[in-house]
Amino acid sequence: MVRHMLAGAGLVLGLLTACSSGESATAQTAAPAAAAQAATHPVSGLRVIDLTVESGGKKLPFRVEVADTPEAQARGLMFRTELGDNEGMIFPSDTPQPRSFWMKNTPLSLDIIFIGVDGRILNIAANTVPYSLDSVSSKGIASGVLELRAGRAKALGIVPGDKVTY
């Protein structure tokens, strides 16, 4: 599982999080827009939404699970072994702050993308090591974290400074 550490006011609150598999983004985007907006993931039961990364003049579409409660962030993509090309999980922050994750009990290698308060990518921890206890952190105050399957950011040309909208 990816371990998400929230740092603030001198306290560290550990929330267990991880990454996911599920329906292909192609199948989900084929559904009518209204149904797509109300979709839930068959494994996690989390709401699935559209997310776009604007990179190099291109708009890259994703369908992502929303881990927006402490319970969902604690569960994250734990123990999941598949994640489609255009799938991921977004971890929004109610209070922007430095964020860090680890890969304990997460069998998938991931690209962990830290998003700043302006919606732009701060930094990317690419190709994280499954099951690693090493922490990967944001380079600044993050308002959210996007997890994609390892290698997707590089393959799509996603870099720090790109805009994330969801």
pTM greater than 0.85 (yes/no): no
pLDDT, tens digit, 9 for 90 and up, residues 43-66: 899 999 999 999 999 999 999 999
Start-to-end CA distance of the chain, whole Å, equals 24
Radius of gyration of the chain (CA): 14
Is the per-residue pLDDT at 38 higher than 50?
Answer: yes
User: Which CATH number is 161's domain given?
Assistant: 2.60.120.1140
pLDDT the model gives residue 151: 98
CB contact at 8 A, 95 and 7: no
Q: Does position 24 have pLDDT exceeding 90, yes or no?
A: no
pLDDT digits (tens, 9 = 90+) for 121-138: 999 999 999 999 999 999
pLDDT above 50: residue 94: yes
Q: Which residue has the higher pLDDT, 28 or 63?
A: 63
Q: Give the total number of structural domains in the chain.
A: 1
Q: Determine the average pLDDT of the residues in 19-25.
A: 36
Q: Rounded to an integer, what is the distance from CA 69 to the centroid of its chain?
A: 14
Farthest CA pair distance, the chain = 46
Average pLDDT over residues 86-92: 98
105: pLDDT confidence band, cut at 50, 70 and 90?
confident
Task: Give me the DSSP letters along 59-110.
Answer: EEEEEEEE--SHHHHHHTTTT-----TTEEEEEEEEEEE-EEEE-TT--S-E
pLDDT given for residue 71 in this prediction: 87
Q: Structural domain of residue 138, as residue ranges?
A: 2-165
